[in-house]
Amino acid sequence: MTNNMELLGWEFKKGSTKKMDAPYLRKENDDAAFVVGSGFYGHNSYHLSFDQSFDSENELIKKYRDLSLLPEIDEAITDIVNESIAGDNDSSPVEIILDNLEVSDKIKDKIRTEFESILKLLDFNSEAYEIYRKWYIDARLYYHIIISDKPKQNGIKELRYVSPLKIKKIREEETEAGPGGYPIIKSVHEYYLYSPSDAKNSTIAGIKLSKDSVCAVTSGLLDDTHNRIYSFLHKAIKPANQLRMLEDATIIYRLSRAPERRAFYVDVGNLPKNKAEEYLRSVKNAYKQKMVYDARTGEVKDSTDVMSMMEDFWMPRREGGRGTEIVPLAGGQNLGEIDDLEYFKRKLYNSLSVPYSRISPDGNNAFTIGRASEITRDEIKYSKFISRLRKRFSKLFYELLRVQLLLKQIITENEWETIKENVAFDFISDMYFKELKEAEILRERVNLYNDIEGLIGKHYSKEYVRKNILMLSDVDIEIMEKQIAKEALEEEPDTDTEDDESESESESPPETDIDAEEPAEANDRKKIKDQDL
């Protein structure tokens, strides 16, 4: 345990800081922070406010939220979240795995205890679905870490959710001219800027929060400039708009083409154009205009039925043609075709990485529990996609666990960097085909081992069979040998029991001499004894 530690604005013991050499290359902006430069770039000052890029980012988040309300996308999101977050009220959706962690059992128990306390602070057992859904849609998840006045004893006091519309990460870079005029970054200061909704029209631009006081988890999807974070729904924006436009066009077409209408060809003779149009209007009004008597008021009302796209057509016919004619126009003949809609709907689900067979309207979305060979390739790709989402979301637990262990002084910062690679989080999975796949792979390996068992020691060594047939690593082989030796010692019979058995054998009556019996009977008894042996 080191004597110097600064965390969340607390200084537990005063210590010295070591100045590091300034790097020549700028760090990749993987968290899409807003970079504020000074010195070499000519920015001598800055203001704590959200720029236009942040406003655009807010509009993008609102677009994602509006997109999630569409029925098809909402159904896909629900399926993704249900596959990622499983479990019931009796079990936690996620567990911490410390099997590969080489520390004492006492430290492991403390780590498990602190992880359970983090789940309680998040209320993760009951709110896991909503938390995961927010992160998936918004592409970012922020929690403000609140500690008490005695952080050594109490650790994290509260985790307060912060809307991504109100917070932005800021990175201040102080630079100077280096060799050849290339800018050298002398120092980097990172923090979060929180802007409440009522602060946009006030003199308060934002509240500055330290970097360690905010836990941030993003989707990891960035644009080319690394200045904006994309949601997993970003690819679905265009297919969703195309699907909506096509649905609206289909409805308009069916409304306009479904009924049968009439075309009135009115003979106007050789009347001039103006007279012909006036005559046509008079004929039309004769059919369309109705005088209605209102019995309640005693008034006569002029009830005019205005024409629309679904009503009749009136067209003049010049002299020399046929007389007045009424021709019926047939309605649409292909109103039941929706192949184009199905195409764009399939395209939408492909953009969301959800197998179309899960949500297809033809009813063929039943999942068959059987051999792994019966599972479609789309389901395999979907399971890998869910695994990647879980791994990315686990950064939330890594960051919160790190802060909690440091505050409780269970480990140091250097120790955490060493052990974090051996800390894993296991999400409860209800995708049964994964278990079927693993069982089938193990079955095939065992069957192959049985087929070549007679060749072990002649053409194949035991080590080769273990590594290439059973696919065991060196660590697995070492663990198996220890377990087999331990089980062999446990199964050895007790010495006292062997002595009792030997005494009982000595007290048994002597066997009959074979030579003293008849030759035929002696041979039969000898055969029986040889069979027993």
**Mean pLDDT score of the chain, rounded to an integer?**
76
Q: Which residue has the higher pLDDT, 121 or 512?
A: 121
Q: What is the dihedral of CA 501, 503, 506, 509, to 10 degrees?
A: -80
For the full predicted model, state whether its pTM sits above 0.95: no
Tell me if 410 sits within 8 A of 107, measured CB to CB.
yes
Tell me if 36 sits within 8 A of 203, measured CB to CB.
no
Tell me if 233 sits within 8 A of 421, measured CB to CB.
no
Spatial separation of the C-alpha atoms in residues 193 and 115, rounded to whole Å: 28
The DSSP string of 79-121 is HHHHHHS---TTS-SEEEE-TT--S-HHHHHHHHHHHHHHHHH
pLDDT at site 259: 65
Residue 498 has pLDDT above 90, yes or no: no
Q: Which residue has the higher pLDDT, 376 or 72?
A: 72
For the residues 9-27, what does the mean pLDDT come to?
53
pLDDT at site 25: 58
The DSSP string of 163-178 is -TTSEEEEEEEEEEE-
Q: Which residue has the higher pLDDT, 201 or 320?
A: 320
Summarize pLDDT for 141-152 with one digit per residue, the tens: 999 999 877 655
pLDDT at site 65: 94
Instruction: Pick the range with the lowest mean pLDDT from 14-28, 62-76, 95-109, 146-160.
Output: 14-28
Residue 239 makes CB contacts below 8 A (sequence gap 6+) with 344, 347, 348, 351
Tell me if 59 sits within 8 A of 136, measured CB to CB.
no
Q: C-alpha distances in angstroms, 261 versus 302, 307, 313, 327, 353?
A: 24, 12, 8, 9, 45
Q: Which residue has the higher pLDDT, 72 or 10?
A: 72
For the residues 494-498, what does the mean pLDDT come to?
54
pLDDT at site 69: 93
The DSSP string of 366-430 is PPP-S-GGGS-HHHHHHHHHHHHHHHHHTHHHHHHHHHHHHHTTSS-HHHHHHHGGG-EEEE---
CA atoms within 13 A on the CB side of 331: 12
Q: C-alpha distances in angstroms, 296 versus 289, 292, 293, 300?
A: 21, 12, 9, 11
pLDDT at site 284: 74
Tell me if 355 sits within 8 A of 382, measured CB to CB.
yes
Spatial separation of the C-alpha atoms in residues 370 and 436, rounded to whole Å: 8
Residue 528 has pLDDT above 50, yes or no: no
For the residues 367-378, what does the mean pLDDT come to?
59
The three-point CA angle 164-170-173 to 5° equals 165
* Residue 77 structure tokens: 């999101």
Spatial separation of the C-alpha atoms in residues 191 and 1, rounded to whole Å: 27
Spatial separation of the C-alpha atoms in residues 47 and 226, rounded to whole Å: 22
- 3 state SS of 224: coil
Instruction: Pick the range with the lowest mean pLDDT from 14-23, 340-349, 360-369.
Output: 14-23
Q: Which residue has the higher pLDDT, 261 or 339?
A: 339
Domains in the chain: boundaries: 5-233+373-432, 259-328, 495-532
Q: Which residue has the higher pLDDT, 225 or 249?
A: 249
| 112 bridge partner residues | none
- 3 state SS of 22: coil
Tell me if 12 sits within 8 A of 2, measured CB to CB.
no
| 210 bridge partner residues | 191
Most confident residue range from 68-82, 447-461, 499-513: 68-82
For the residues 236-258, what does the mean pLDDT come to?
83
**Residue % of the chain over a pLDDT of 70:** 65
* Residue 525 structure tokens: 């008894």
* Residue 250 structure tokens: 């289909």
Please report where in the chains the tokens 């995961």 appear, as a residue.
132
* Residue 355 structure tokens: 């197998």
Residue type for position 182: Y
pLDDT at site 496: 55
Q: Which residue has the higher pLDDT, 275 or 225?
A: 275
Spatial separation of the C-alpha atoms in residues 7 and 136, rounded to whole Å: 29
Spatial separation of the C-alpha atoms in residues 147 and 163, rounded to whole Å: 20
Summarize pLDDT for 389-433 with one digit per residue, the tens: 999 999 999 999 999 999 888 989 999 998 999 999 988 875 556
Cα 17 to its chain centre, rounded Å, is 41
Q: Which residue has the higher pLDDT, 111 or 228?
A: 111
Q: C-alpha distances in angstroms, 150 versus 3, 32, 157, 213, 410?
A: 17, 34, 10, 16, 15
